[in-house]
Chains A and B, each alone.
Chain A
């Protein structure tokens, strides 16, 4: 991420080295992958639907990515940031009307049937395009999938579709499920949604509600000598404070997705035998965003939005709310994105005097009680950090004479209040950047999205120039031209502030020293873990 995070990581590596000096024999063992063993880790949520082809979300991937594989996975050093999985190679046609995937040979489903291009065609047409939360947008122009032979799938698009987008979407959106299982009955009701069948290194074992998920080794896996682990147990620990104690008590060996609260990391990094890892989430960046309801006449005024942007001390937010495990944001694309990010956008330095002046200029003078106007502020309840930022934002707004009243809701009520009823003035949201702005980022500012679509522009914002830019980028095939359009997009968003990007953060893993090959790809926590092993 930013320079700061990297230095933090270095510091942690440094402290890990220190630890290593006291645990040398153990670490020496950790050099060569070892077979066997059971990995027990913390799971903080229990998704009901485990089909990643339908529900493309990190909560589902965390478990099901070990069972159901995608065509390609994100990679630190692979070409275009990808490593092959079920597909060996991929190529887009120059006219943007087709994309060809060569598939891996000798892959078998967990029930023994062979994996073929028919499964890919079925998944793409019957699930990704019509049913998947993210695939609906990315694959909207997918017309058919031709299967000239068992190991070739050719995607045909009705309208030119940038291959860069398809490529960037592969790690999260291309989970392939077996046709022979899903072609019977309604896809949404298929029993394999709760007990998935895939091609991955692990098979689904069992699920005990409130207790654990158990995955077992797939002895027929295509990867040579893989997987190393015999079993993975996801111990359900919904209470965030219990993951740290479970690690210390050696009840679990791994807590991913920041299951250990940030405030505990300093302490836990000093515990012998445990390591804190900030890598392995580069492809899963969450953005801390202030969503704005432009139906409020005060907030429809650009000067007011600028004033709010100037009132937020982003460095304070990173330092205090995220304890340094985040980076300040400049716009709608995170700094750690290698393809699209540009720093060349209007920025808003923390400046309370300027914010006050802007509000005065806009005609909202302070009343006798020092208040200009009152707002309803709805912090999203999903993360501690979004709630805390809500508390901070209230104080930051008080400093410029805006009286923000916090409204706390549970997840369901929050989604309804913000995205269906629009009963908010400001909201704090954590949208995810998924490697390409067209997957889940442009939707945050685009107009014309029906009511009730979560994590989209529900603030009534409408900017014809920005809409045109998004439309143009969605049909621009040339990678460089498309990238430039998204740089333009970032500038426009930062200038007109349909929403305010405050910070970007990712997750932290804490593991015992014995867990090997951690964080070796940018989506490690949601990748297949075929090469993960336990030493000692």
Chain B
């Protein structure tokens, strides 16, 4: 059975993939469907959903189109989630590989630094970082990556520790390859799969962290974010609950989609590995 067919046989994986595809589609077509500034004032304030079909999800307290904000918010969420996860995985893989491959003092120093970062709750770290440096998209990505690279680093190190004793590593040493070259060309690519398996969890966590930061007013105020939309809606929770519920649902589905699809991929590949 091919991996793709096996993936398609798992209903939760398929559901996850569909959700994720819908999210990506939303993010991609947002500028086509809703050109211009999604924060522009489009109609009367606090219009409930399904009243006016030019503004299907209604408007917020200033009269901004909730649907346009939702679509553009998908871009932010996805961009932050992917960028933060990529950054975290990259940092983690490099640190883990160096620590595992070099061993000795380098390993000790790198792993103690990892410990230090791991003991601080990642959300608090992100919170502190953003409030000191100031909120902007790049800073938010950096702040989230700062708190999440430790997991991949530990996994990468453990994997590297077993790989570095393999024969092909010994032969690479024998032909006189530079240790760094061995580490990053021979060892790292083979250590990656289990690290990448963490990516779905990290992306999901990054999207949530970004939403939480925006909810607390620490997101980029010049961009639409789902967390920011929920925070906006909170002031009128009793009179216009849809303002918080709509982006809340989007957030739940996104995190669920990313996680299910990621798990599906991991399981498919894991089965393949055990079979081979």
Contacts and interface: CB of A to CB of B under 8 A. Distances in A.
B238 A395 contact: no
Contacts of B37: 395, 398
B61 A406 contact: no
A406 B234 contact: no
B222 interface: yes
B258 to A, nearest CB: 28
A406 B222 contact: yes
Contacts of A321: 61-62
A129 to B, nearest CB: 38
B62 A405 contact: no
B40 A407 contact: no
A416 B37 CA distance: 31
Interface stretch (A262-270, A474-482, A494-502): A262-270
B221 A261 contact: no
Contacts of B109: none
Contacts, number: 53
Contacts of B135: 408
A405 B136 CA distance: 11
Report the interface size class on chain B. Answer: 20 to 34
B190 interface: no
Contacts of A261: 235-236
Given A388-B62, A394-B39, A395-B41, A263 B240 contact: yes
Nearest to B37: A398
A264 B221 contact: no
B56 interface: no
A244 interface: yes
B217 A240 contact: no
Contact of B236 (A264, A320, A398, A405): A264
Contacts of B222: 394, 405-406
Chain B facing A: main interface SS:
loop
A410 interface: yes
B221 A408 contact: yes
B39 A267 contact: no
B237 interface: yes
Given A395-B40, A395-B41, A410-B131, A263 B239 contact: yes
B62 A391 contact: yes
Given A408-B221, A410-B131, A241 B237 contact: yes
B239 A264 contact: yes
Contacts of B221: 406-408
Contacts of B238: 241, 244, 264, 267
30 contacts: A241-B234, A241-B237, A241-B238, A261-B235, A263-B61, A263-B235, A263-B236, A263-B239, A264-B236, A264-B238, A266-B239, A267-B238, A321-B62, A381-B217, A388-B62, A391-B39, A392-B41, A392-B62, A394-B39, A395-B40, A395-B41, A395-B62, A398-B37, A398-B40, A405-B222, A406-B221, A406-B222, A407-B221, A408-B217, A410-B131
Interface of A: 240-241, 244, 261, 263-264, 266-267, 320-321, 381, 384, 388, 391-392, 394-395, 398, 405-408, 410
